[in-house]
Structure 1
Amino acid sequence: MGPQCCATIASDIYKHLRVSEANKSPSSDFMERIQKDINASMRAVLIDWFVEVAEEYRLQPDTLFLIVNYIDRYLSGNVVNRQRLQLLGVACMMIAAKYEEICAPSVDEFCYVTDNTYFKEEVLQMESAILNSLKFEMTAPTAKCFLRQFVCVVQATSKVPSMQLECLANCLTELSLLEYNILHYSPSLVAASATFLAKFILLPLKKPWNSVLKHYTLYQASDLSDCVKALHSLCCNCCNPNLPAIREKYSQHKYKFVAKKYCPPSIPHEFFQELSN
């Protein structure tokens, strides 16, 4: 099979994922519309804890994004009280691990990470409720799934520090998980915006978007403006002592210390203008 054929298949897969993400996305207003007892900051604290657990158990990055997708989709249609929010999260983690991991932790381990707050039976009952609520549709294109493709495009076409770009784009995309308001943006748009912002932070004098990225992502620079600014704001204010996990994770050597990178306080307006070519 020639490279031309592979490129066509990759393009078709990407277009399919873009259609699929619309069907597998949570609503962006479930806190206001459905939930009575939980709020956006409780959700953020829960996800911050998952980042820590995922590091401890060395879970795949995709698992973390699937956990959040399942939580948000469940909360989009089911009222959950705050005492059961962590139970929902642990059951979502168990489902995502079974789906994504080669060797998923056992239900006992999931009970253990909550200091045995929940019995095994409770976790299994919640797992069943989630699977039924989501109609067993566990495949979902997450921002991580799109980001992997976009980072490869940048690495192949730009003079940018390869590993730093990958780690920084991942860090920004994980930060987006904490922010409930980012649900207004589709996963592919978040991934494209994280790629744009990571390039900007590493090469602040160079226009981050180009015709190659526009071609592969199907987004123009102007499409990204609002989401990039939202991610930029998260990046500039990511010192929240209540949500330390992502900053601590990406301050490690294995992630190239990218959380310590200087983030310029503003992005030139012309970087969002359309490309002339």
Structure 2
Amino acid sequence: MTRRSGRLQKRSENASGQKGKVTKQCSRKKLQPLSKLQCEKNQLVLDGVTNPCIVIETSEKGFDSEPAYAVLPSADSLIRPSPLPHLGWGSSDDVWLKMVIREQNYRHSKSFIQKHPSIQPKMRSILLDWLIEVSEAYTLHRQTFYLAQDYFDRFMLTQNGVEKSMLQLIGITCLFIASKMEEACPPKLSQMAYVTAGTYYEDEILQMELIILKALKWNLCPETAVSWLKLYFQMASMNTNSDLLEPQIPQDVYVQMTRLLDLCILHINSLDFQYRVLAASVLSHFMKQEAVEKVTGLPKDAIQLCVNWMAPFVESVGWVGRVTLKDFVKVKTEDRHNIQTHTDYMTMLEYASKKEVNSQFPTPPNSTEKPCTH
């Protein structure tokens, strides 16, 4: 349940100093652009100069075909009453039902990693961490990054045998698409190519954009994990009889929640859960269980598995300490918490991974504590 972010002012184009910190050094000479898109019956083929071709199954009906996924809401989700308050601008039941249906239609799965032998889960983490850094450099909204993350994961699920050399191109193109969907003044194509430090060029991003849009069948409006979290926290923070569209989120608490969500989404196992379950689990680490159930419509047993999985990430966030709100030029004070920010997520992720392993394999007792067998 998101609205187009329109509060971000146009960023000065001469902020090269800030953009420079997210670039990666590359000395490759400009190669021949990716070859022309070839349509062969119901397949769209992109032949790369130095990369293997990417074959994407498409519908014979083209872009006007049925949605990529035709999943009906489960009986369980239909029975549960809407947790939304009374809405003066619409039916809370209808709004909630549409959100739940959209959640189920936009499917994601970590199984995509099995379809790409040369790609490791950590490569996804590194790519998303870099996209967060780019998002902060261009003062993009959190929703923009989470849209890009969703596009990337769903796109990879449609592919087979993508080489790791293509990941950065796919990632920056997903962010480019997301910024045009969400931002009032999205970064220019040249700025997106700039942050790759010459690894990829504008025409390559444009061609990949068409490939991704075709693979996703132009379904670009999911309910992201951060949109669910913002909705939940907004309902939990509302005053009596206030409008849901009126921002009432305590910014300092919200940024703590989003940092935990950012860290979790970098781990590929986060794709085991629905976005609304992931967001509800984050909320449960900051609020009482009764309040979580009230604003999410999810009982404790529906999120407990995710809450348990998230425990090492909570400990990692606590190990680093509290995060503070950042000031951005030409970003209004009331919108600061909505800007995607970056921190040392990879170190935090490594810390959480070690805690997760230790919890699965308890430390063996000392030799003096071992039971005697004779």
Q: TM-score range by the shorter chain?
A: 0.7 to 0.9
1:221 aligns to 2:300 (yes or no)? yes
State the partner residue of 1:127: 209
How many residues are paired up? 237
TM-score computed with the length of structure 1 as normaliser: 0.78
Change (3 A) 1:11 1:170: farther
SS of residue paired to 1:198: coil
State the partner residue of 1:69: 150
State the partner residue of 1:59: 140
How big is the alpha-carbon RMSD for the aligned residues of Structure 1 and Structure 2? 2.7
Match 2:131 to one of 35, 47, 50:
50
Deviation (angstroms), 1:235: 2.6
State the partner residue of 1:95: 177
Task: Provide, for residues 106-128 of structure 1, a one-character-per-residue CA deviation record: whole Å limited to 9, x for no partner.
Answer: 11111101112112111111100
State the partner residue of 2:102: 20
Match 1:178 to one of 266, 270, 273:
266
For residue 224 of structure 2, what is the amino acid of its counterpart?
Answer: T
State the partner residue of 1:204: none
Q: Distance in 2 between matches of 1:25 and 1:168?
A: 27
Identify unmatched segments of 5+ residues in structure 2.
1-84, 240-248, 327-335, 338-342, 344-354, 356-374
Q: Distance in 2 between matches of 1:78 and 1:238?
A: 34
1:165 aligns to 2:253 (yes or no)? yes
Task: Provide, for residues 35-84 of structure 1, a one-character-per-residue CA deviation record: whole Å limited to 9, x for no partner.
Answer: 11111100000001111111110001100000000000011011321000
Change (3 A) 1:28 1:239: same
Deviation (angstroms), 1:8: 6.5
Q: Distance in 1 between matches of 2:314 and 2:87?
A: 39
1:192 aligns to 2:272 (yes or no)? no
State the partner residue of 1:209: 289
Q: Distance in 2 between matches of 1:4 and 1:152?
A: 14
Match 1:112 to one of 194, 201, 225:
194
Q: Distance in 1 between matches of 2:181 and 2:87?
A: 30
Change (3 A) 1:217 1:251: closer
Deviation (angstroms), 1:5: 4.7
SS of residue paired to 2:91: helix
Match 2:311 to one of 232, 235, 251:
232
Match 2:232 to one of 136, 139, 150:
150
SS of residue paired to 1:16: helix
Q: Distance in 2 between matches of 1:7 and 1:214?
A: 24
Q: Distance in 1 between matches of 2:96 and 2:253?
A: 21
Change (3 A) 1:224 1:83: same
Change (3 A) 1:42 1:4: closer
Larger radius of gyration: 2
Change (3 A) 1:239 1:217: closer
For residue 250 of structure 2, what is the amino acid of its counterpart?
Answer: S
Greater helix proportion: 1
State the partner residue of 2:88: 6
Q: Say if 1:151 and 1:165, in contact at 8 Å, map to a contact too.
A: no
Q: Distance in 2 between matches of 1:231 and 1:109?
A: 35
Q: Say if 1:43 and 1:178, in contact at 8 Å, map to a contact too.
A: yes
Task: Provide, for residues 254-273 of structure 1, a one-character-per-residue CA deviation record: whole Å limited to 9, x for no partner.
Answer: 389xx9xxxxx9xxxxxxxx
Q: Say if 2:256 and 2:323, in contact at 8 Å, map to a contact too.
A: no
Runs of at least 4 residues off by over 4 Å:
none
Match 1:39 to one of 120, 126, 132:
120
State the partner residue of 2:9: none
State the partner residue of 2:245: none
Identify unmatched segments of 5+ residues in structure 1.
200-207, 241-246, 260-264, 266-277
Task: Provide, for residues 106-160 of structure 1, a one-character-per-residue CA deviation record: whole Å limited to 9, x for no partner.
Answer: 1111110111211211111110000000001111110111111110122237xxx
SS of residue paired to 2:199: coil
Q: Say if 1:21 and 1:141, in contact at 8 Å, map to a contact too.
A: yes
Change (3 A) 1:222 1:165: farther
